Amino acid sequence: MKLLAALAIGISLAIGQSNAATQYFASENIAQFGWLDQYSMVPLGATACVPTSATNAMTFLQGANPAYFGTTLTGSNYSSWVTTTNTLMSSPYMDTTSANGTIYNHIPYALTQYIKVDCGFANVSFSGMFPADYWSETYPKPSYMTDGLPTWSFLLSALQTNQATIFSFSSGPGMGHESTAVGFSWLDANNDGIIQQSENATISFLDPLDPSTTYTGGLPDGAAKITMAQIWNAGNVAGGELNITYSQYAGSLPYTNDYGPYTGSIDTMFAIVPESQTIMLLVLSLTCLPLATRWKAARDGKARRSLRLPQNLRQVKIGLT
């Protein structure tokens, strides 16, 4: 009987553990993001969501890694963000147009050219998840990209490691939109690794349609605004595409406070981060420099003290001058 009771308790514990809920959470500092509105990009505002989101994301990179990037990527004010986005929209980069917006396979090549070549930050890593059929002979898949629809685990990992992450979602052909991820929250109630719609998982992001908490005279005036959306795995199956629904701004500039329901699915994700060894070297240099300075000052002080003359000789010296 004791053996049967022990087995029953063991089975009960195993079942309890297998059904235990797991909390997943990541959040980046919204204050470090840019808040450029895509409709500031005249005349392509309606189709400028990708380069605008990239600029807001690179502004976060500057804020999160000031010792490495300074303000080289996007500058330090709204007009410099506009200048950066105009560069990204041009044909050597994303080639954004009023007819086609931005072709997603341009993103890795445009940002590699801009960040690594133009701005000179060679020690930056990229990663992403795009469907395999997004690539072409002109824009083949980079080695760091993963085939397939984006997963919640990719998103979580990117945000937990302070990567600047942009993602696209669409409600149908030609109906795509791009935003900058800021956070992710999900309580996996049944611990099955699948986001059920009933679990109310959320993605927080900076939407270039509505990026500002204030609009002075109808124009964005900061600070960066968090938009929240619900996400879940389509069909409640592992690996199912991530569906997204939220209240999307439906106006332009000047701001009109006009919103409407939006439901679609997440198509791509692309993340940028300085290589870890670069950050470690910067941390070490910033830590060691004050120590070295103090050691030098102490050494020099000791040398000066060792050269001080006895009091009587100093008086003689003074008397001779």
Q: Please give the full DSSP string across 47-62, using - where no structure is assigned.
A: G-HHHHHHHHHHHHHH
Is residue 259 domain-resident? Answer: yes
Put simply, whether the predicted model's pTM sits higher than 0.75 gets the answer yes
- Between 49-64 and 78-89, two packed helices, what is the crossing angle to 10 degrees? 130
Distance, in Å, from the CA atom of 81 to the CA atom of 62, rounded to the nearest integer, reads 12
Strand partners, 162: none
Is residue 319 domain-resident? Answer: no
Number of domains in the chain: 1
Q: Are strands 145-147 and 124-130 parallel, antiparallel or unpaired?
A: parallel
Query: What's the pLDDT at 174?
Result: 80
pLDDT tens across the length of the chain (321 residues): 443 444 343 433 344 445 699 999 999 999 999 999 999 999 999 999 999 999 999 999 999 999 999 999 999 999 999 999 999 999 999 999 999 999 999 999 999 999 999 999 999 999 999 999 999 999 999 999 999 999 999 999 999 999 999 999 999 888 899 999 999 999 999 999 999 999 999 999 999 999 999 999 999 999 999 999 999 999 988 889 999 999 999 999 999 999 999 999 999 999 999 997 444 444 444 444 454 445 445 555 544 444 343 444 333 332 332
For 268-277, letters b (16+ CB in 10 Å) and e give bbbbbbbeee
Cis? peptide before 43, omega within 30° of 0: yes
Is residue 141 domain-resident? Answer: yes
Is residue 274 domain-resident? Answer: yes
Angle at 188 between CA 182 and CA 193, to 5 degrees: 95
Is residue 110 domain-resident? Answer: yes
Is residue 289 domain-resident? Answer: no
Is residue 102 domain-resident? Answer: yes
For residue 94, give the nearest of 153, 41, 39, 147 by alpha carbon: 41
Chain center to CA of 113: 18
Is residue 205 domain-resident? Answer: yes
